[in-house]
Amino acid sequence: MLTMVGLGIWDEKDLSLKGMEAAVRSDSVYAELYTADWGGSLKNLEKFIGKEITVLKRNDLEEKSGRILKEAKEKDVTIFVPGDPLVATTHVHIILEARKKKIPTRIIHSSSAYTAIAECGLGIYGFGRTSTVVKPQKDYEPTSFYDAREVNKKNGLHTLLLLDIGIGVKEGLEILLKIEEKEKKKLVLPETEIVAVSRLGSGKQKIKFGKVRDIKKGKFESPAMVVIPGNIHFLEKEFLKGI
């Protein structure tokens, strides 16, 4: 069997009892840590389950996934994934490949930024399309996250922007403002009110509501997110004023 286990939004203490039990029973345990800034300790996680954990690289789950599937055909294999296994980090392809090979699969869910973001006070049902802010490349400047904001604004929906690995709130906002300078659609301006979220679920968690120009002055380290509110209910507005 191939089992994918969510590690939760911050560290090894977010691991569910069900996920721990699955890892303890497994013959081999792997961890995919390349898609998110996971704040946990691999050594502590190994102590929890009493097994050595092999850290996977991106191509181990993509180009070389056949090796893990071959092992799962004969043994019980667990793969730890930050957050919830098939939410922000979609490993649907390896599940599909396992099913094609008649390998039983199991998903053990955990906490995710998609639901934990409700701690900022904005209702989950009011969110629209989510996207990830990534760094511009030398010959390519992605703008899909800016487009998501445009679609959501038209529909009065909140926009959740996940910031890529290593990107803090200040850098993320600078990327958005730079695109705004070119596009001039008035989607992200210095006076736009946003929610900045840093290290959600940790002891150093920060959630702050304010204007872009003021938020940029603060320190919000990775992993981080930005929420641009859409139409705000009076209860949401009351909650935002308190953070």
Q: Look at residue 138 in the predicted model and tell me its pLDDT.
A: 82
What is the torsional sign of CA 59, 62, 66, 67?
Answer: positive
CATH architecture of the domain with range 114-241:
2-Layer Sandwich (3.30)
d(CA 132, CA 118): 18
Residue 127: strand, helix, or coil:
strand
Q: Is the peptide bond before 104 cis (omega within 30 degrees of 0)?
A: no
Q: Where are the domains of the chain?
A: 2-111, 114-241
Q: Look at residue 62 in the predicted model and tell me its pLDDT.
A: 85
- Per-residue pLDDT for 89 more than 90? no
**Residue 3 near residue 25 (C-beta atoms within 8 A):** no
- Per-residue pLDDT for 90 more than 90? no
Topology classification of domain 2-111: Cobalt-precorrin-4 Transmethylase; domain 1 (3.40.1010)
The pairing of beta strand 206-211 with beta strand 193-198 = antiparallel
- Per-residue pLDDT for 2 more than 90? yes
Report the pLDDT averaged over residues 222-242: 96
Q: Look at residue 114 in the predicted model and tell me its pLDDT.
A: 92
- Per-residue pLDDT for 63 more than 90? no
**DSSP 8-state class, residue 83:** B
Burial bucket for residue 20 (CB in 10 Å: 0-12, 13-18, 19+):
middle
Segment 94-115, tens digit of pLDDT: 999 999 999 999 999 999 999 9
Segment 136-193, tens digit of pLDDT: 888 888 899 999 999 999 999 999 999 999 999 999 999 999 999 999 999 999 999 9
Q: Look at residue 122 in the predicted model and tell me its pLDDT.
A: 98
- Per-residue pLDDT for 88 more than 80? no
d(CA 187, CA 185): 5
d(CA 19, CA 107): 9
d(CA 189, CA 213): 8
d(CA 181, CA 188): 9
**Residue 29 near residue 78 (C-beta atoms within 8 A):** yes
Q: Look at residue 33 in the predicted model and tell me its pLDDT.
A: 93
CB neighbour list of residue 81: distance below 8 Å, 6 or more residues apart: 4, 5, 6, 7, 31, 32, 35, 89, 91
d(CA 240, CA 242): 5
Band (pLDDT 50/70/90 cuts) for residue 70 is very high
Q: Look at residue 158 in the predicted model and tell me its pLDDT.
A: 98
Q: Side-chain half-sphere of 115: how many Cα atoms within 13 Å?
A: 9
Segment 122-146, tens digit of pLDDT: 999 999 999 999 998 888 888 999 9
What integer best gives the mean pLDDT of the chain? 95
- Give the number of other CB atoms < 10 A from CB of residue 7: 28
Report the pLDDT averaged over residues 196-200: 97
